[in-house]
Homo-oligomer: A and B are copies of this chain.
Amino acid sequence: MDMDEPAKQRVVLAHSESTDEAQSLLELVELLFFAYRDFVGDPDRLLEDFGFGRAHHRVLHFVARNPGLTIANLLTILKITKQSLNPVLKELIGKGYIISRPGSDDRRQRHLFVSERGKSLAQDLMSLQTRRMARATSECGPESAMVARQFLAAMIEPSERAEALKIAAAQDRLR
């Protein structure tokens, strides 16, 4: 590095903005990657025993949390196509984890519910993930969970945030 070229150095600093700040953001990005990897790893192992995958987990989870959900609702939450959902949902219904009922109001719609079996599996999967959250909370202190909650919410796409918060705040019907 040429010591007598201060202009060049200024350019470098301008490009990297505040280095500490940038480094902190980078760390958050990578820690989120690792945290999520382990967060989904727990349920993955249990799901294997049932011949299910992550896609089954997500469907079962949101149906358990939002009984009476329609197909269209579910597709919006999961952001997948009906063609992707179909085989997964069919399998969950076929194996008796989810129950589909035509709507009484609009009979074209299907309202989805978990069976006792589905409720039980959804609970087991959920408890693996809340356990991880509980451990992190106990390590970082109860206030940290509130901050983490706020921070995660702020990461959600603004246009989706209200909807996501509404779902997350759903009365817990799993117990």
Minimum C-beta distance from A141 to chain B (A)? 9
CA distance A136 to B161 in the complex (A): 12
Considering the complex, give the chain B residue whose CB is closest to the CB of A157: B38
Indicate whether A37 reaches chain B with its CB closer than 8 angstroms.
yes
Cβ of A148 under 8 Å from chain B: yes
- Do B25 and A155 touch (CB < 8 A)? no
A37-B167 Cα distance, complex, nearest whole Å: 15
Size category of the A interface is: 35 or more
Contact, CB under 8 Å: B156 / A151: no
Do residues B154 and A135 form an inter-chain contact, with CB atoms below 8 A? yes
Indicate if A24 sits at the interface (CB-CB under 8 A).
yes
Chain B residues closer than 8 Å to A36, beta-carbon distance? 32, 36
- A residues sitting closer than 8 Å to B (CB atoms) are 12, 15-16, 19, 21-39, 41, 58, 65, 79, 126, 129-130, 132-137, 139-140, 143-157, 160, 164-165, 167-169, 172, 174-175
